[in-house]
Amino acid sequence: MYQQNKIGSTNKDWVIIGLYALIAMIGLICIFSVEYRSNDEVIKSILGFKKNYSKQFYYFLTCIVIATFILLTDSKFFTATPNLLYLIGILLMLATFVVGKTVNGSKSWIPLGFMNLQPVETCKIFASLALAKYLSQPDLDFSKTKSQLIASCICFFPVIFSLLQNETGLALVYFSLLLPMYREGFPAVYLIIGAFLGTLLVATLLLTSVQLIVSITLIAVFIIYFLNRKIKRNKKILFTIISVWIISLLFSVIAVPFIFKHVFQKYQADRIFSMVGRDNPYSNDNPATMNLDTPLKNHAKSDNENYNVKQSKIAIGSGGFFGKGFLKGTQTQGDFVPEQHTDFIFTSLAESFGFVGCIVLMGLYLGLLLRIVFIAERQRSTFSRVYAYSVAAIIFFHIAVNICMTIGLAPVIGITLPLMSYGGSSLLTFTVLIFILVRLDADRQMVLR
Amino acid sequence: MPVFNDSRKNVVKLIFISLFVIIVFRLFTLQVISSKYKILAEDQGTFRKVIYPDRGIIFDRKKNAILQNTSISDLMVTPNKLKGVDTALLCRILNIDTAQFRRKIVELIIKNGRSRPSVFEALLSDEKMALLSESLYKLAPAFYLQERSIRTYPYEAAANVLGYTAEVDTNFLKKHPGEGYVAGDYAGMTGLERSYEKILMGVRGIEYWKRDNKNRLTERLENGKYDTSAIAGQNLYSSIDIELQQLGEKLMKNKLGSIVAIDPKTGGILAMVSAPTYQPNYLTGSERRKHFSELFLNPALPLLNRTVSATYSPGSTFKTLQALIGLHEGVINTDTKFSCGGAFYGCGSGKPMKCLDLGTFDLRGAITVSDNTYFANVMQRVINNPKYPTVDSALSHWNQYMYSFGLGHKLGIDLPSEKTGNIPTPKYYNKVYGKGRWNYCTFRSVSIGQGEVDVTPIQVANEMAYIANKGWYVIPHVIDSIEGGDRYHLLDKYKKKIEPTDIPDTIFEAVHDGMEGVVDHGTGIGAKLKDIIICGKTGTVENYYKGIKQQNHSFFCGFAPRKNPKIAIMCVVENSGHFGGTYAAPIVGLMIEKYLNDTISKDRLAKLEQLSNLNLMPPRIKKEIKIQDSIRNSKNLSSLLAKGYIKSVKDTVGLDDDQPDKEEINIIRESSHKKEPSSKEMIIKDKAFIQNQKRSVKNKKQSKP
C-alpha cells in the first residue's frame, strides 16, 4: 500500500478503468459490425490497417500506451502546467488555419502521418485543466462577477476557433463546462435560463406551433397547481410563472418564426430544420411559382439531410426488443445509415442488440458518469474536483447530444459518441481526459492542493 | 472550498439521470412500441427475389417433346457503368436513336436506381443477338446478356391444343388472388398451358436477399435460412400423335374447319386440328406482340380452337344416333323399310324435306345412302310413340338419349372454352312457339341433324367413339398422365368408362353395317382404304351467315377398323360446298391410313398433296383479309408519307415513274377514311357466323305461322 510503485498503486480507480475498457471494446465491435461483410478475411484486415476497425484497433492500442504514460506521470505535472498546455492548445488551433487539412468539409485537422489530430477536440482537455487551475486558486472568490467572467472566458475562448473552422457541434461542447462552474458556485439562474432557452428552441424546431402552445400552457398550469400553497403565501411566484409563460409563448410563436422568415436566408432555415428531420414550415414556397432550378437543388439537399435522421431512426427502430443479432442488421449491412462508423455508431448497436443492448450501454455510460461524480466529490483539492466535473460534463454532453440526434431529439451536429465512435482524435481525447482524472484521483490522499 | 454548494452534486446527478431516462423512454417507443420502422427497414433492407422454375414439358404419345423450354437473352444494363461506352454502336445494333436510348436509361434509373442492373431490351431476336454478341466486349461491363427461359414448340404444330403463355394482366390477377402471381409474370392463357397451368408452372422459389443503400443485392439474408427453393413444373404426357397432327394441319391448310381424332378405348385425343392454325413459335420470343395483334385481327380467327369452341349443325352424321334411338325404342327394327319418293311427306306437302336417292331402303341402306326420308320417319315414330303421353315427354326422352351420347353438354375435356352445343328441349319449343302449339313437324329437320341441333367437333368425334365401343366412351382428353403424380386429381375423370344407356350390341352392329356401307359403296366412298374397314358417315350441312345461305359445310365422321376400333375421327370443312363425301371423307381416309399404317402409301401421296393444296377458304373471309391487308399497308405507307420518304422518292425518281405509287396512295386515302374494324367486332361477327344456322332456322320458323 505504501510502496512508491505508482503503477501498482491500489489507489487507482479500477471501476473507471474497467468501464472505459468495456465501452471502448463495445465501440470496436460496433465499428467492426458496420464494416464487416461475409467473406472478409478478418485477421488480414485487422493486421492490414486498411479497414476502419483495424485502424480503430491500433488507435486503441496507442491509447492504452498513452494511458500508461499518463498513469506513470507525476500528478504534479498536471497541476503545474495547465496554463502552458492551454496556450499550446490555442496555438495548435491557430496552426490549423495554416497547415490544416480538410476532412468532411471542415478545415480543422492537423495531419500527423498515421492519424489526423483535431485540435478543437483535444483542446477540451486543456480547457478543463485551465478551468480547474483557475478555480483552484486559494484566494479566488468565485462569487464575484469578475472571476465568473474570467472563468467563462477560459471556457469559451476555443469556441471562437471552432466556429471559424465550421465545427458548430464541437463548439457547443465547451458550453458543457458551465456544469463544473455551477458546482463551484456559478449562479444557477444562468444555467436554468440557458437550458430553458435551449430546450425551448429545440422544442420549437421539433413541434408544430399548436403542439407547442398547448404543451407550454399545460406545463404552466401544472406548475401553478403544484406550487399552489407557495403562491398563496407569495403572489410574486405566480407573477413570475405567468411572465415566463408569456415570454416563452412570444418566443416560440412570434420570435422564432420571425427569425426564420426574415433574419435567416431560406437555405439556412431549411438546413436548421432538416437537422431535426423536418421540412421548413416557414418556407414560402408555392409550387406553382417555383423557379425550376433552385428549389430542386435545395429540395435535394434537405432530402439528403432528412435522410440521415430517417435512416438512423429506421435502423434503431427496426432493432426491436432483442435486436437482429450480431452482424445480422440489414440496415447496417446495406450501408443505409450514412457516417455510421462515426457519428451514428449507436445505430449499429441498437439494430444488432435492440432495446436490451441500448439499455446495457446506457447503463454503462450512466455508471461511468456517476462514478466520475462520486470521484469528484471525494477529492480534497478543488483542482481535482473541478477537473472531474469537467470530464463528466463533457462526456455527458457528448452522449446526450449524440444519442438524441440519432433518435431525432436533437439536430444533427457532428458530435461523436465517447469511446465508441470511430476516430483516433476523439478516442485519444477521451482517453486522456479519463486517465488524467484517474491519475489525479490516485493521489487524492497525498497532496492537498 | 465552498461547502454550501455541496447539494449541487445531487442536482448534477439528477440532470444526468433524467436525460438518460428521457433517452431510454424514447428508445422504448422507437424500438418496442412502434412497428413502423421495422416495416420500413424490411422494405429497404431486404428483397424478396422470386425464382421462376422451368415450366413442365409436354410430350406426345411417342414421348417426343412437343412443347418445351429454350433460353433467350435479355440485354441488361447497369446505368452507373455507362460512362465511356460506345452508345452509338449499341443504338445502331438495336436500331434506335440516341434520344430514345437516353429516355430509356432515364426510365430505368427512375425505376431501379443507378447501380442495379435492369432489363434494357427483353427477348432479343436472333439477329440482334448475333450482332450484339459480336461487339458485346465493347459494351461491357455496362451491358451484358442474361438468359431467360421461354416456351418453344419443336414441331411447330398443335398451336391451339398446346396454347400459349402471356404476361398476366390486372384482370387475371383479380381472378387469381393468392396464387402467387404478380404483374409481369407469365401464365398459360389458352390450351393445355391454361388448363394445366397449376401443374406446368411448378412451385416458385423465394430467395431473401439483403439490399444495400444503392438498391444492389448484396448477399443472402442469413445464408438463405428463410428461402424456399423452386420446384420445376411437372411434365405432361399427352395422347397426341404429333405426326398425325402435322398431317392433319397440312390437309387443312387454306381451309376453315376441324379434325378431331380420338382413341376410342382410352378417350385420348390423337389429333386435334383447328384450321386455320398458326405458327405457335410466333407467340414466344421477341416479336410476340406484333404477331399476336396480327393473329388477333385475322378474320379467319386462327386463335379460336374450333374443335371445342365452334358449333355446327351435325347434318347427316346425326342419323347414326337417330338409328340407335329408333332401334332401342323399338319403333323400327333393322328390317323396317321406308321409301323415298323424292321427299318426306309425313308432315303434309307444305314444304317437303327432299331426299336424293329414290327408292326403298332398310336401315343399313338408309344410312349408306343417307336417306332423309327414312330418318324423318324414324324420328316421327319416336316422337309420336304412343308409349309417351305427350310430345313433350317424348321429346324429353329423345333428348335424354342425345344427352347420354355426349351431346348438348360440355364433355369436360381438358381444354378451356369448351362449348355446350345445343340439343332442343321441349322447354325451348314451348318458349318459342307456346305450349302445345308445336309438334314433330315443327322441328322435323332436327331428324336429319339440321335446325336447332348444334354440336362441337369434339362432341361428334366422341359420339363416334361411343358407337365404335358399342355403348361406352371415356371423356376425351389430351393429357394421359402427369410425371410425378396427379396431385390435384385432374385426370381422375378420364380414367373411367361412361356407359350411359344399355343398348344391346346387335343394335350397334346394325348401325356399323350401315356405316361400313357408307365408306364401301355409299356417300363416303372417298375415305375408302384398301385393307382397312372404315365405318363412317357423311354430312352435308346447310348453313346461313347473317341470314344469307352459304356454301355447305362438309362433314365426315367415323371409326376404324370396324373390329377392335383404334381411332374415332371427325372432320369438318366449313363452307367447302359440294357434299360431305367430297372433301371431309378423303381427309379422314388419309388420317386413318396414317394412324393405322403409320405411313401413307405412295400411290395416295398425290391425293394428299392435291387435298392439301386446295384452297377452300370461303370468299367472305378472303375479302375481309384483303380489306385488312390494304388498311395495314395504308398505315405503313401513310407513316412513310408522314416521314417524307415518299416525297424524297418522288423527288429523285420523277413524277412519271411513280404511277403505281400514286394509285396506291389514292386507295389508302379512301380506306383510311373508313374505320378499321375493331377486333371485338370481328369476334362478334364470327360468333354469329358459327351459330348462323340456328338463327336463320329460327327466323324461318317464326315467320311461318
Evaluate whether B169 touches B187 at the Cβ level (below 8 Å): no
Residue A356 domain flag: yes
The pLDDT, as a whole number, for residue B640 is: 54
Q: What cell does A327 get?
A: 452482424
Q: Is there a single domain that holds both residue A34 and residue A101?
A: yes
Residue of B12, B35, B115, B209 to mutate, interface with A, max A Cβ within 10 Å: B12
> Which of B195-199, B201-205, B285-289 is predicted least confidently?
B285-289
Instruction: Give the per-residue pLDDT at A286.
Output: 41
In order, the DSSP letters of A341-402 are TTTTHHHHHHHHHHHHHHHHHHHHHHHHHHHHHHHHHT-SSHHHHHHHHHHHHHHHHHHHHH
When pLDDT is cut at 50, 70 and 90, the band that residue A362 belongs to is very high
B106, B212: one domain: no
- For chain A, what is the mean pLDDT? 83
pLDDT in tens, B148-178: 788 899 998 889 999 998 888 778 888 877 7
**Best residue in B21, B22, B27 to probe A by mutation, most A CBs within 10 Å?**
B27
Question: Is position A162 within any domain?
Answer: yes
Q: Give dist(CA B501, CA B148) in Å, integer.
A: 53
Contact A336 B46 (CB under 8 A): no
Number of domains in chain B: 4
Task: Name chain B contacts of A316, Cβ cutoff 8 Å.
Answer: 27, 30-31, 37
Mutate to test the interface with B, among A310, A314, A403 (most CBs of B within 10 A): A314
φ and ψ at residue B419, rounded to 5 degrees:
-95, 155
A214 vs B117, residue with greater confidence: A214
Which grid coordinates are listed for B574?
366449313
Average pLDDT over residues B252-274: 92
Cis peptide before B561, with omega less than 30 degrees from 0? yes
Q: Identify whether residues B584 and B633 lie together within a single domain.
A: no
DSSP codes of every residue in B619-639: HHHHHHHHHHHHHHHHHHHHH
CB neighbours (10 Å) of residue B316? 27
B95 and B221 housed in the same domain: no
Nearest residue in B to A377, CA atom: B9
- How large is the greatest C-alpha to C-alpha distance in chain A, in angstroms? 81
What b-and-e string marks burial along A406-433, b requiring 16 or more CB atoms within 10 Å of the CB?
bbbbbbbbbbbbbbbbbbbbbbbbbbbb
Residues A350 and A412 grouped into a single domain: yes
Q: What is the pLDDT of residues B82-138, one digit of tens each?
A: 887 888 888 888 888 888 888 888 888 887 777 777 888 887 888 888 888 888 888
Q: What integer is the mean pLDDT of B471-489?
A: 89
Q: Does B37 touch chain A (CB under 8 A)?
A: yes
Whether B257 maps to a domain, the answer reads no
Q: Convert the pLDDT of each residue in B571-591 to its tens digit.
A: 999 888 777 778 888 899 999
d(CA B679, CA B687) in angstroms, rounded, equals 13
My answer on whether A235 and A268 are in the same domain is yes
Do B342 and B444 sit in the same domain of this protein? Answer: yes
Q: Which of A63, A52, A62 is nearest to A29 (CA)?
A: A52
Contact A358 B219 (CB under 8 A): no
Kindly state the DSSP code that residue A337 receives in the 8-state scheme.
S
Which residues is B147 bridged to in the sheet? B73
User: In terms of domains, do A100 and A179 share one?
Assistant: yes
Burial class (CB in 10 A: 0-12, 13-18, 19+), A201: middle
Residue A416, in any domain of the structure: yes
Domain boundary, last residue among A282, A305, A328 = A305
Please give the DSSP secondary-structure letter assigned to residue B30.
I
Tell me, letter by letter, the H, E, C secondary structure of B222-283: HHHCCCECCECCCCEEECCCHHHHHHHHHHCCCCCEEEEEECCCCCEEEEEEEECCCCHHHH
Residue with cell 374443335: B307
Across A236-248, average pLDDT = 84
Residue B559's alpha-carbon distances to B316, B324, B530, in angstroms, are: 16, 16, 15
Determine the average pLDDT of the residues in B40-57. 82
Q: Does B44 touch chain A (CB under 8 A)?
A: yes
Instruction: Identify the CA nearest to B398 among candidates B444, B364, B433.
Output: B444
- Rounded Cα distance between B266 and A190, Å, is 100
Asked if pLDDT for residue B678 goes beyond 50, the answer is no
Dig out the grid coordinates for A313 from the structure.
431512426
Which range (B219-228, B236-245, B633-642) has the least confidence? B633-642
Q: CA B305, CA A102: separation in Å to the nearest integer?
A: 75
In a domain, A449, yes or no: no
Q: Which domain-ending residue is among A275, A305, A335?
A: A305
Percentage of chain A surpassing pLDDT 70? 86
CB contact under 8 A, A38 and B23: no
Neighbours of A30 (CB within 10 A): 30
Chain segment A24-62, per-residue pLDDT in tens: 999 999 999 998 887 778 788 878 778 889 999 999 999
| Whether B551 and B631 share a structural domain | no
A367 and A248, same domain (yes or no):
no
Interface contacts A/B by beta carbons within 8 Å = 126
- DSSP code at position B548: E
Query: Do A258 and A332 fall within a single domain?
Result: no
**B114 and B172 both lie in a single domain:** no
Give the total residue count for chain B.
705
Residue of B nearest to A138 (CA): B1
Do B488 and B375 share a structural domain?
A: yes
- CA distances for B68 relative to A194, B51, B197, B206, B479, angstroms: 78, 19, 14, 24, 15
Helix (H, G, I), strand (E, B) or coil at B487: coil
Grid cell digits, residue B456: 362441337
Q: Are residues A110 and A49 in the same domain?
A: yes
Closest partner residue to B211 among A334, A358, A409, by Cβ?
A334
Residues A80 and A149 in one domain: yes
> Is the same domain home to B627 and B607?
no
Judged by average pLDDT, the poorest of A412-421, B209-218, B238-247, B689-698 is B689-698
Higher pLDDT, A268 or B327: B327
Beta strands of A112-202 (E only): which ranges? Answer: 116-117
Residue A379's domain spans which residues?
14-197+318-442
Q: Tell me: do A55 and A168 sit in the same domain.
A: yes
Contacts of B213 in chain A (CB under 8 A): 334-336
pLDDT digits (tens, 9 = 90+) for A126-140: 999 999 999 998 888
Q: Does B184 lie in the same domain as B86?
A: no
Task: Assess whether B474 and B358 both reside in one domain.
Answer: yes
Does any domain span residue A8? no
Query: CB of B5 within 8 Å of any CB in chain A?
Result: yes
Q: Which three cell numbers stand for residue A214?
A: 398547448
Q: Is residue A372 part of a domain?
A: yes
CA distance B522 to B505: 23
Q: Sign of the CA dihedral A348, A351, A357, A359?
A: positive
Q: Cell triple for residue A122?
A: 483535444
Q: Of B107, B122, B147, which one is at a domain's C-terminal end?
A: B147
Structural domain includes residue B244: no
Q: Which amino acid is at B39?
A: I
B456 to chain A nearest CA, in Å? 60
C-alpha cell recorded at residue B567: 381411332
Beta strands in B248-374 (DSSP E): 257-262, 269-275, 338-340, 343-344, 353-354, 359-361
Among candidate residues A311, A312, A260, the one with its CA nearest the CA of residue A284: A260
Cβ separation A331–B45 shorter than 8 A: yes
Q: What 8-state DSSP symbol labels residue B568?
A: E
- Do A26 and A174 share a structural domain? yes
Domain count, chain A: 2
What pLDDT, on a 0 to 100 scale, did the predictor assign at position B663?
39
Q: Is the pLDDT of residue B4 over 60?
A: no
Q: How confident is the model at residue A91 (pLDDT cuts 50, 70, 90)?
A: very high
Lowest mean pLDDT among B383-387, B599-603, B684-688: B684-688
Cβ-proximal residues to B164 (8 Å cutoff; 6+ apart), any chain: B151, B188, B189, B190, B191, B193, B280, B283, B284
- Are A82 and A130 a contacting pair, CB within 8 Å? yes
Percent of chain B with pLDDT over 70: 88
Q: Both A191 and A251 in a single domain? A: no
* CATH classification of the domain holding B211: 3.90.1310.10
Look at residue B672 in the predicted model and tell me its pLDDT: 40
Cα atoms found within 13 Å of the Cα of residue A150, Cβ hemisphere only:
14
Whole-number pLDDT of residue A4: 46
B635 domain-assigned: yes
Q: How confident is the model at residue B388 (pLDDT cuts 50, 70, 90)?
A: confident
Tell me the residue range of the domain where B657 lies. 619-674
Mean pLDDT of all residues in B351-375: 79
Residues of B in contact with A314 (CB under 8 A): 37, 40-41, 44
Phi then psi dihedrals of residue B65, to 5 deg: -75, 120
- Which of A316, A319, A366 faces B16 most closely, judged by CB atoms? A366
Question: Quick check: B42 and A315 CB within 8 A?
Answer: no
Three cell numbers, residue B200? 406446368
In a shared domain, residues B560 and B594: yes
Last residue of a domain, one of A283, A305, A327: A305
User: Given the DSSP bridges, would you call strands B359-361 and B338-340 parallel, antiparallel or unpaired?
Assistant: antiparallel
H runs (alpha helix) in B53-169: 87-94, 98-112, 126-139, 159-162
Q: Which residues of A touch B31 (CB under 8 A)?
A: 316-317, 319-321, 350, 354-355, 358
Question: How much is the mean pLDDT over chain B?
Answer: 81
pLDDT, mean of residues A67-90: 91
Q: What is the pTM of this model?
A: 0.64
> Which of B11, B16, B37 has its CB closest to that of A370?
B16
Q: Are the CB atoms for B17 and A157 separated by under 8 Å?
A: no
Amino acid identity of residue B607, one-letter, is K
Using pLDDT thresholds of 50, 70 and 90, give the confidence band for residue B139: confident
Identify whether the C-beta of residue B2 lies closer than 8 Å to the C-beta of residue A180.
Answer: no
| Contact across the interface for A316 and B212, Cβ inside 8 Å | no
Provide the residue type at A274 as one letter. Answer: S
At B474, the pLDDT band (50, 70, 90 cuts) reads very high
The CB density around residue A401, as the number of other CB atoms within 10 Å, is: 22
A35: closest CA of chain B, how far (Å): 13
pLDDT at position B649, please?
40
Mark which of B95, B128, B147 sits at the end of a domain. Answer: B147
Based on the fold, state whether residues A171 and A55 are members of the same structural domain. Answer: yes
B514 with B650, same domain? no
List the 191-210 stretch of B: residues with Cβ below 8 A of A. 210
